[in-house]
Structure 1
Amino acid sequence: MENQKSNSSLKAIIVVLSLLLIGSLAYMYKMSTDNQTSENKIMSEKDKLNEELQAAIAKYDAAIADNTSLSSELTAEREKLIQLQKELEKSKGDAASLAKFKNDYLRLKREMDNLMRENEGLKKQNAALTTQRDSTQTVLNDARRVNDTLVSQNDQLAKTVEKASKLTVLNLQTTAVKQRSSGKQIDTDKARKADVLKVSFTIAENQVAKSGDKTYYIQIIDSKNNVLGEKRTETFGDKVLTYSFVKTVKYENKTVQVTQDLPVENIEGGTFFVNIFDKAELVSKTSFTLK
């Protein structure tokens, strides 16, 4: 009878212990599951925070590329995010440290939001200034083109006026004559009889030209390339002119007939060349032949 009671008590104890063991195992399993769930949640939140940090850094990169006056401030705040991201990656991932990282990130994000708004305002100002500058540059370019056109037209007009104002020398002729003692002149085609070369030419009418005294240098060259007459020289810049005589004409914008005699002696036959210069510029030429 006592043995039966003892066995019953033992069985009761075993049942109780079994129940306690099962309860403990269930509790331990639950705790393990809860810990794993909590750890997975922390890791998930850590990954999410890391992604947000990476996105914020990329946003800073884009803002810095705008090259506004806030570039240095943006760069400094970006470095803070990079440092926070490095510390997050090294952390063990417990709830307390993750909460601290979140708070730090939120604080830095508030600063980032403020800087981004300010940077956006500066971008708009820069865009407006660029548009204004481009408009101003366009106006300046248009004005420059108009000015260049006017300068070109003025230059062309000045050249046209200068060209139009030049006097034209026409009908250049030279005749050899024999001077009689009576003063009478007789044309001759023989060099040995000639003692005067009569040069004549016409200055055409020009209303644009400036009136006043006009000086021409007449050059007569014989067949041996000798300059007849005075044989004086005049320098015009880097040019030197040897001439036979100078003729000054009073010009009043009307046609003028000019004649001038050049005394000669002992000239030889051949072809003679007559040139008229306005300073260093050749304005008319002809030739004649004497036997």
Structure 2
Amino acid sequence: MENQKGNTSLKAIILVLSLLLLGSLFYIFKLTTDTKTLETEVSSVKTEKDNVLKDLEELKATYDAAIAENTSMSDELIAEREKVVGLMAQLEKSKGDVNAMAKYKQQVAALQTKMNSLMQDVAVLKKENQTLTTNLDSTKVVLADSKNYNQVLVGQNEELSKTVEKASKLSVLNLKTGSYKLKGSGKQVETDKASRVDILKVSFTIAENSVAKSGDKTYYVQVIDSKNNVLGDKVTTSFGDKSLTYSFTSTVKYENKTVDVVKDLPGKDFQKGTYFVNVFDKAELVSKSSFTLR
């Protein structure tokens, strides 16, 4: 009887221990399963975080490259890049969970959509700038050609002006000087003996020129004796930075036809030797000759 009770108690104890063992095994299994599930979730969140960070870094690199091109959209691109940088900083500090990562991925998707739109605008702007640059280059070529053509025209006009100016200058020809003795009757007798000379007669011809300017024309005549003295009026005048001492002037009315000029230069005590006669148009020497008195 007692043995039978003992066996019953032992069986009860064994049953309880078996139930406890089974419960422990189940708890250990569940704990192990939960731990693996948690580790899987953590690993998945970390992978998602790394992927999101990679996407953000690619967005930032795209914005950096676009900003470096220095377009008119630079300010807007910089503002969007700062949003990307700010989100990267938040994500790196965040421990994150599945719900948080989902929100970050939504924000990244929105940033990518905005970036794609901006990049399209940048591409259009670059194309317009290329077209504008091409047009500017073409304009520069046209302007350069026009400038060269104008320079050629200016050069031709200058040459033409010089040619006209040269052609319009009057030629003084046949410059001659005669020496004469004045008799009591007023008659002039030619002589080359210095002691007998009373008058020097200077003559020259202004040639015909159809393109020259008509009107009064004044010539300055300079007669220099053998001792380098200027005879006659000995008046000194200036033309710009040049000065001229002359013997007399001769003003004629020029009408594009040949004009003969004759002018007497009276004097006394003429010296023996060679005399020089120069005719000036203002400061420009236009004719010269010499003669000798014995």
TM-score normalised per structure 2: 0.84
* Aligned length in residues: 290
Indicate which of 142, 147, 152 corresponds to 2:145: 142
Q: Which moved more, 1:15-24 or 1:46-55?
A: 15-24
- Superposed, which structure 2 residues align to 1:66-81 within 5 Å? 66-81=69-84
Q: Secondary structure at the match of 1:223?
A: coil
Percentage of matched positions with identical amino acids: 52
- The CA deviation string for residues 84-132 of structure 1, in whole angstroms up to 9 with x for no partner, is 1111111113222212211222223333333333333333333333333
Q: Which residue is 2:105 aligned to?
A: 102
Distance 1:178 1:15 in 2: 174
Question: What SS class does the counterpart of residue 80 from structure 1 fall into?
Answer: helix
Paired with 2:293 and 2:168, the residues of 1 have a C-alpha distance of 36
Q: Please state how far the C-alpha of 1:151 moved relative to its aligned partner.
A: 1.9
Listed as ranges, the matches of 1:134-283 within 5 Å are 134-182=137-185, 183-188=187-192, 190-283=193-286
Of the candidates 122, 132, 155, which is equivalent to residue 129 of structure 1?
Answer: 132
User: Are the counterparts in 2 of residues 66 and 123 from structure 1 also a CA contact under 8 Å?
Assistant: no
AA in 2 matched with 1:241: L
**Cα pair distance change 1:220/1:6, threshold 3 Å:** same
Q: Determine if contact 1:273/1:287 at 8 Å carries over to the other structure.
A: yes
Shift of 1:229: 1.1
- The 1-side partners of 2:122 and 2:232 are apart by 90
Gaps of 5+ in 1: none
Residue type of the alignment partner of 1:66: E
Task: Look up the equivalent residue of 1:142 and give its one-letter code.
Answer: D
Counterpart amino acid of residue 55 in structure 2: E
CA shift for structure 1 position 16? 5.4
Please state how far the C-alpha of 1:180 moved relative to its aligned partner. Answer: 3.5
Match of 1:34 among 33, 37, 41: 37
Instruction: Give a deviation string over 1:157-197, Cα, whole Å, max 9, x none.
Output: 11111012112223323232333345142231x32222122
What amino acid does structure 2 have at the position aligned with 1:179? L
Give me the whole-angstrom Cα distance separating, in 2, the residues matched to 1:191 and 1:4: 186
Partner Cα separation in structure 1 for residue 26 and residue 163 of structure 2: 118
Q: Which amino acid letter does the alignment assign opposite residue 244 of structure 2?
A: L
Alignment partners' CA distance in 1, 2:237 and 2:189: 32
**CA contact 1:169–1:204 (8 Å) conserved in 2:** yes
Query: Which residue identity is paired with 2:91?
Result: L
* CA distance in structure 2 between the aligned counterparts of 1:4 and 1:187, rounded to whole angstroms: 188
CA RMSD of aligned residues (A): 2.7
Within 2, Cα distance between the matches of 1:192 and 1:91?
A: 129
| Alignment-mate amino acid for residue 233 of structure 1 | T
- What amino acid is aligned across from residue 34 of structure 1 in structure 2? T
Matching of residue 64 in structure 1 with residue 85 in structure 2: no
Please tell me whether the aligned partners of residues 180 and 188 of structure 2 are also in contact (alpha carbons under 8 angstroms): no
Tell me the CA shift for residue 218 of structure 1: 0.3
Give the deviation of 1:220 after TM superposition: 0.9
